[in-house]
Amino acid sequence: MRRLTALLMALAVLVAPAGAEIDLSSPAPQATPAPVELSGSALLDAPPFALDCAAALLLEPQSGQIIFEMNADSPRAVASVIKVMTILLALEAVDAGRVALSDMVTVSEDAAGMGGSQVLLDIGEAQTFDVLLKSAIVGSANDAAVAIAEALYGSEALCVERMNERAAQLGMADTHFVNCTGLPAEGQHTTARDVARMAAEMFSHPLYFEYAHIWLDEVDHGDGRVTQLTNTNRLIRLYDGCDGGKTGSTDEAGYCIAATAERGGMRLIAIVLGAPSGTERFDLAAEMFDYGFANYRLYPVAQRGTRVRGGLPVTDGDAGSVAVQLDADLTLLILKGSEQGIQLAPNLPESIAAPVAAGERVGSVDVVVDGKTVAQIPVAAAESVAATGLRQSLKKFWGHWAAVP
């Protein structure tokens, strides 16, 4: 009772003027830099040339910007392009140490019995995980893909469960996997946008490119048999800068490819689904690459730590203002020569109340291109500002009162 009376008396002395804010909270901890959020809209309203396929998308993965798309959210079969997710899980397992490339894998009856493209594995044959991964990436081997699935998860069914979980984590809302090979299966479908998402993730693994550039290789089965591997992605040889991709074709899916190429430090990903022939899918992907490399470039718009302006006014603090700075890097994909069309518009409050913690988010900067906001860069306090006056007195009193036995 004595403590409560003391508290009420103190509050009567320290009561704030009407409308004033009283904040007894502790200074906010330093925040983790927030990611820059880019607009998900394609840079072009429509493809700049005719695309003789069911769906297509051209993506620059560093910025995450889509140059153009066509029927990108239409669910459809994509044949062996499904293996992008199987390969991604294998790459992630190697990176995580769950499996080593040197690990031996014994081929099961289910794996050896896969139809379609194969590396001709036998039941009971032992191969390294390295050979199986190479066979799936280079030769699109269904038997190797199932052997990988079983090595990682115990069965293809359990691998498919993980494939769907990983798809959800990547935001692939219009995808459902039924197998790990892409062989025709009821209910299995994805979209050009979702293929781009998982392909970008696969292409982010350096290990992938150690296999993807291989044009010809062979698999020694250890019993005198040798199977020749030929890369199913002809763009590896035909397109300057192409260093990876996954093909697929069935009567249902048509001819598909998720390909990537890099020139001048910029990488592009081209998705072509449902082309009428294998040659046309390669030609379309090459034409998409040509357009992207000819017309666009990466432009460093902002660097984390850059000061936004002189300072943001602070109320009830031991300093009248606080320096603020960009809290993220931003690189945009832009039309070559359009740098002058980029504007940075601060979106900050008139003032901020103390206490302010270094790293605390205080606003943002809008990135405007041709009158359209395409991104927001978080802005954070560059230093701490302590509270003074009424705020500080209340905090000190509260701490002292709470400590009274």
DSSP secondary structure letters along 334-375: EETT-GGGEEEEEE--S-EESPB-TT-EEEEEEEEETTEEEE
Within a 10 A sphere around the Cβ of 93, how many other Cβ atoms?
19
Active-site hit among 63, 80, 117, 384: 80
Q: How far is CA 279 from the centre of its chain?
A: 30
- Eight-class DSSP state of 281: H
Rounded Cα distance, 175 and 169, in Å: 12
Q: Could you tell me the two tokens for 133?
A: 């991964």
Examine the residue annotation and report whether 135 is marked as an active-site residue of this protein: no
Residue 355: pLDDT band with limits 50, 70, 90: very high
* Helix, strand, coil percentages for the chain (3-state, nearest 5): 30, 30, 40
pLDDT value for 372: 81
pLDDT value for 260: 98
Backbone angles phi, psi at 197, to 5 degrees: -65, -50
Active-site hit among 108, 117, 140, 249: 140
Query: Given a cut of 70, is residue 291 above it in pLDDT?
Result: yes
Strands 307-315 and 352-353: parallel
Q: Which of these ranges, 102-106, 275-279, 385-389, has the smallest mean pLDDT?
A: 385-389
Mean pLDDT of all residues in 202-215: 97
Residue 219: pLDDT band with limits 50, 70, 90: very high
pLDDT value for 90: 98
Query: Given a cut of 80, is residue 248 above it in pLDDT?
Result: yes
pLDDT value for 371: 80
Query: Given a cut of 70, is residue 5 above it in pLDDT?
Result: no
- Token pair 């020694």 in the structure block, residue: 220
Question: Which CATH number does 303-403 carry?
Answer: 2.60.410.10
Residue 373: pLDDT band with limits 50, 70, 90: confident
Residue 370: pLDDT band with limits 50, 70, 90: confident
pLDDT tens digits, 141-177: 999 999 999 999 999 999 999 999 999 999 999 999 9
Rounded Cα distance, 62 and 238, in Å: 24
pLDDT tens digits, 264-285: 999 999 999 999 999 999 999 9
On whether the pTM is more than 0.75, the answer is yes
Examine the residue annotation and report whether 83 is marked as an active-site residue of this protein: yes
pLDDT value for 346: 87
Q: Is the peptide bond before 313 cis (omega within 30 degrees of 0)?
A: no
DSSP secondary structure letters along 283-299: HHHHHHHHHHHHHEEEE
First to last CA, the chain: 12
Coil, strand or helix: which one is 128? strand
**Selection from 208, 345, 353, 310 nearest residue 267 by Cα:** 208
Coil, strand or helix: which one is 267? strand
Q: Which of these ranges, 23-27, 40-44, 198-202, 243-247, has the smallest mean pLDDT?
A: 23-27
Please, where in the chain does CATH 3.40.710.10 lie? 55-297
pLDDT value for 395: 52
Query: Given a cut of 70, is residue 123 above it in pLDDT?
Result: yes
Strand partners, 227: 219
Q: Which of these ranges, 52-56, 118-122, 350-354, 393-397, has the smallest mean pLDDT?
A: 393-397
Query: Given a cut of 50, is residue 26 above it in pLDDT?
Result: no
Residue 32: pLDDT band with limits 50, 70, 90: very low
Rounded Cα distance, 266 and 333, in Å: 10
- Token pair 């199987």 in the structure block, residue: 86
Note whether 103 and 128 are within 8 A (CB): yes
Please, where in the chain does CATH 2.60.410.10 lie? 303-403
Query: Given a cut of 60, is residue 178 above it in pLDDT?
Result: yes
pLDDT value for 374: 83
Average pLDDT in the chain: 88
Q: Which CATH architecture has domain 55-297?
A: 3-Layer(aba) Sandwich (3.40)
